[in-house]
Homo-oligomer: A and B are copies of this chain.
Amino acid sequence: MTLTPEQTAEIATARAQTHSTLRPTVPALEELLFTAFPVLDHGFIRVVDYMGDDSAVVQAARVSYGRGTRKALEDAGLIRYLMRHYHSTPFEMCEIKFHVKLPIFVARQWIRHRTANVNEYSARYSILDKDFYLPAQEKLAKQSTDNRQGRGEVLAPATAERVLNLLREDAEATYGHYEEMLGDDVGLARELARMNLTLNTYTQWYWKTDLHNLFHFLRLRADSHAQYEIRVYAEEMLKIVEAWVPLSFAAFRDYRLGAVTFSAKMLELVKRMLTGEAVTQEASGLSKREWTEFMSSLGRE
């Protein structure tokens, strides 16, 4: 992680200033506030502001479902009920703002989540730092043979070395020329010079979203099918969310992260299997691919 001395000083200053507020406050999240958690070789993620807590979810649910719910369900049970039945609006009452440093190719995946607010470092206005992502050697893997978008076996050490050299040298060279084009001799406009940078160059942004949309992001990006380089950010966020809204997080883990959805056909098969019937792929009505996914869900691969 490369925090500038300026950023380190800002964090220290921010963490030293305590304010008094009437707002709901989460001590466990205050502990983490502003601190930059390292991700990948030069990236980080840190919480810079938040609003609401588990009780904001409960409060919103209770205005919707009225006074009667007060006695019927304890907070944890109510939150589980909301999660289970896809009553998503109460989770929108919590908001969190992150400061993230991340490679541009990761930023391009991330930005596809549209229901969020973003302010990114602009290479039209400013010069990007010389920071680029080089994967750890054990993360350099072959194209998967059975999955068009995944990784397969790890590269042999010599091959990995060769790849890292290519990545490093190209990033160095293109950044060097970026600087040359920006230099006094040429003075090219920044909005043009930036096009010479490679996609592993780091950028940074403020990214703010509500808890419902954050859960949606995490369900997709903390998933084992997500690309490793975005998943590691999602995994840091899981820890942060657990500190922030422990009841909502527990419900999310049970009903989303660890959950499985069976199609109508699959559900029918489960029912038949529960009666003791032996079911085969051929007789199942599922495609081979679906059958594999189905068996895998049931721990029978």
Contacts and interface: CB of A to CB of B under 8 A. Distances in A.
Interface string A268-294: 001101100000000000010110010
Nearest to A203: B108
A25 B255 CA distance: 35
Output the residue of A60, A197, A225 with the most chain B CB within 10 A.
Answer: A60
Contacts of A287: 77, 80
A121 B274 CA distance: 42
A28 interface: no
A148 B69 CA distance: 9
Interface in A186-207: 186-192, 194-200, 204-206
Contact of A188 (B66, B124, B143): B143
Contacts of A112: 89, 111, 118
B119 A189 contact: no
A8 interface: no
Given A15-B22, A150-B189, 11 more contacts: A23-B50, A50-B51, A51-B51, A68-B126, A93-B208, A114-B115, A142-B189, A166-B196, A197-B198, A258-B263, A273-B274
